[in-house]
Amino acid sequence: MPKKILCVPFDPVHDVGIKIIRSELDKNGHITELLSPDLSPEAVVKIASEGDYDFILVSRTLGYGVAELLARFIDLLDVAGVREKSKIVIGGKPITPELAAELGFDKGFGEHSTIEEVVAFIEGREVLAAATGLNRTKKDIASKYDYVFKHKEIGELLDSIAGKLIKWSEDKTSPGVERAKIRSEILASDNEEKRKLLFEKYYALCDDVIINGNTQKVFTKGVREVTDDELQNLNNFVNGSHPVNPVKIQHNDGQPLLFKFLGSGCPLMDIMHAKVCERYGIDGFLIINPSWEARYEGLLQGCLTHENDGTITSYENIRLMRQSLDPSTLLTVRAHRGLNTPETVLLAGEAGANLAKINLVYGSLGAGTDPVRLAVDGLEAIRLAAKYNMPFDIPGNDELSGVPAWKTLAGLLINVMLGVKLGAKPILKPLFCYGPHIVINGMMNQNFIDYNAAKILALKEIVNSPIWPGEPIAFMTQSEERVQSANANSYHASLAASLNVDAITVASTDEAYSRGPICITSRIDTIRAITDAFRFVGNAKFEATKQAEIFTEDLIKKITDTLREVNSKANLTEAINGGCLGNKEDGAYPGTFGSGTVRTK
């Protein structure tokens, strides 16, 4: 039965909400009447008492003193007898049920209410059941790409470079590769006796710190096991809470997915943050491990928390995080940093992660692992990624050391070709930031758009591969001021959307200044800023100038030159050690962890 409704905008400016609601009520067949916004409360009460309204909807913003005004209005309606025939409802951005109760209204709707909730209340029915959970499907970043190299010469050079490296590695192995094999057998075995023997073999290839941690529970400083109570509480939280009015970040399907880092050290804190971020629409996370984890041979086992940067990527931790996340949320695990690359990819695959982060070049230059060791380990890791059908993302963070963009991009492309040859699905992750080489050489003096755009345009001209700028975007453009920082992220994200990339990695607004764990509000800052930016840009674009074309052409030429130089060497490891993909002058130093550990099979 249609209801008779009086709509009262008690505010001459902020009355759009009540107009939208009125329009929806009209569509649903109700009889509405909208008063002008300049009437006194007495005049409204007179109209309300003379008409037979089922509902009186009042909209008003709040300031100090307005509460008393509304309370007096409610009193007037009460003594005029209106409350016995009409329900009085208030709506406005700051309205909560508590505030509506305090003011004496029968119902209140605020910023987080939906129009459907208002209509349902008017019609005296339950709100139409919204789907529980995030109500979204898991995205596949890589499947629509065929990895065809459009730039013929670059394709041929990469084919040669990758082919030589794979051939070179055929008779080689490392403790990292061997541990991954043993660990795979351990995970597959139910036989305690067999597992015990396998662990003995495994520990023979581990450093003491790892053996002590796993066998005697004596951990390095700041590491401890998560307690059963903590796990139970987490379980209660994850199972007992559901996202309220979850938000979608992208305004259209062409806009990139958003990834954030998790690496507070504590898997439980990471999960709490992740659940909040999921409600704000984040599409996926990257687990970032502690830097010390990379330096030891072997990995710690169990649900472990670490009172410092980086979350331990044990099988149990990855599995806990994966199980706590919504099935539609993607999870990638950093694997390439250090001596456990194949095993980390194995554990990621076994624990149900969706992607793994591998870059043979960056891992050897900016992250400290011996190029020979990482070449052998990295190839095995890519094979494992292919086995578990996990695309692998290739971060270009060596550019942050000062390596020129073309050398970094050449490195990314080498990884792409290795992935293609080994049956995996690589994802290019060029930097989208104000990198040191760019700062020094003034490529962004005119704007931040042209050079960032050129990197994407160059890669797109070379290969048909997914592109996921990071890592994170806007790096070196953020300050300690959260609004500035959120804005900087939103501009970079809008540019990424304009360039039709597949995903982006986004920092929090306090990423560079947190002086400790990142806070959740700062994470939300950038998500909300980007959501708004995506709505603002929609299907329009940030446009680069002609200079971007010049940069693109220059980058492709220099990438080709770089790859020619790499190809002139016996294999990739020699090229890295020889500085072809970043030298000491660039700020890149070949790593030494695991040096001398590769052996012939």
Partner 1 sequence: MRTIGVIGTAKNTGKTTTLSFLMKGFLNKGVSLAVTGIGYDGEEVDNITLLPKPRLYFEKNTIVATSEKCLKSSEANFEIISETLAATPLGKVFIVRITKPGMIVLAGPNRMVALKEIIDFIKVKAGCDVLLVDGSLNRMSPMTILDKLVFTTGASRSVNIKKLVNEMSLIEKVFSFPLTNFQNIDNNTSVIIKIENGEIVNKKLHLDLNNFPAVDKQITTDVKALYISTLLSVQDFNDIIKRIKSRIGDNKIELIINSPVMLLLSGDFSLLSVMLERMKAVGIDLTYIQKPELSAVTINPFYPKLENYHYTPSYVDREAFENEMKSVLTSPVYNIKEGDNKKFFETVNK
599 φψ region: left (φ > 0), alpha (ψ -120 to 50), beta (else):
beta
**Shortest CB 324 distance to partner 1, Å:** 26
Binding-site size for partner 1 (CB under 8 A) equals: 31
**Smallest distance, Å, CB 198 to partner 1?**
53
Q: Answer whether the bond into residue 471 is a cis peptide, omega within 30°.
A: yes
Burial of 230-267, coded b for 16+ CB within 10 Å and e otherwise, reads eeeebeeebeeeebeebeebbbeeebbbbbbbbbbbbb
C-alpha–C-alpha distance, residues 358 and 380, integer Å: 11
Q: Do β-strands 284-287 and 172-173 pair in parallel, antiparallel, or remain unpaired?
A: unpaired
Report, in Å, the least distance between residue 116 CB and partner 1: 18
Q: Is 459 in the site for partner 1 (CB under 8 A)?
A: no
Measured CA to CA, the distance from residue 508 to residue 527 in angstroms comes to 8
Pairing of strands 355-357, 284-287: unpaired
Q: Is the Cβ–Cβ distance between 317 and 299 less than 8 Å?
A: no
Q: Are strands 55-59 and 87-91 parallel, antiparallel or unpaired?
A: parallel
Give the nearer residue to partner 1 in terms of CB position, either 71 or 231: 71
Of 236 and 464, which CB lies nearer to partner 1 in the complex structure? Answer: 236
**What is the footprint of partner 1 within residues 429-458 (CB under 8 A)?**
none
Q: Which is nearer to partner 1, 42 or 140 (CB)?
A: 42
Cβ partners under 8 Å of residue 414, min gap 6: 158, 161, 162, 360, 361, 563, 566, 572
In the chain, helix, strand, coil percent, each to 5?
A: 50, 10, 40
Residue 358 engages partner 1 in binding (rule: CB under 8 A): no
CB of residue 1 vs partner 1: minimum separation in angstroms?
21
Smaller CB separation from partner 1, 112 or 194 = 112
Query: Which phi and psi (to 5°) does residue 109 adopt?
Result: -125, 135
* Nearest to partner 1 of 43, 440 (CB atom): 43
Smallest separation, CB 100 to partner 1 (Å): 4
Q: How far is the CB of 107 from partner 1 (least distance, A)?
A: 5
Binding segment for partner 1 (CB under 8 A), chosen from 71-79, 160-168, 207-215, 296-304, is 71-79
Sheet holding 284-287, edge to edge: 426-429, 392-395, 355-357, 330-334, 284-287, 257-262, 503-506
d(CA 202, CA 186): 9
Burial string for 499-508 (b: 16+ CB within 10 Å, else e) reads bebbbbbbbb
Q: Minimal distance in Å, beta carbon 501 to partner 1? A: 39
- 3-state DSSP assignment of residue 32: strand
Query: Which of 33, 68, 111, 208 lies at the binding interface for partner 1 (CB under 8 A)?
Result: 68
Residue placing its CB nearer to partner 1 in the complex, 117 or 225: 117
Among 71, 120, 187, 520, binds partner 1 (CB under 8 A): 71
Nearer to partner 1, 71 or 120 (CB): 71
Binding residues for partner 1 restricted to 73-132, rule: CB under 8 A: 74-76, 78-81, 83-84, 96-108
- Interaction of residue 205 with partner 1, rule CB under 8 A: no
Closer CB to partner 1, 121 or 259, in the complex:
121
Chain centre to alpha carbon of residue 342 = 23
CB of 95 to partner 1, least distance (A): 9
In whole angstroms, how close is the CB of 121 to partner 1 at the nearest point? Answer: 10
DSSP H or E run through 176: helix 175-188
Residue 57's nearest CA partner among 80, 84, 34 is 34
Query: Residue 33 or residue 102: which is nearer to partner 1 going by CB?
Result: 102
Rank residues 82 and 300 by Cβ distance to partner 1 and give the closer one. 82
C-beta of 33 vs 50, nearer to partner 1? 50
Q: How far is the CB of 104 from partner 1 (least distance, A)?
A: 4
User: Which of positions 28-67 make contact with partner 1 (CB under 8 A)?
Assistant: 42, 45, 49, 62, 64, 67
Contact 415, 361 (CB under 8 A): yes
CB of 6 to partner 1, least distance (A): 17
Q: Which residues bind partner 1 (CB under 8 A)?
A: 42, 45, 49, 62, 64, 67-68, 71-72, 74-76, 78-81, 83-84, 96-108
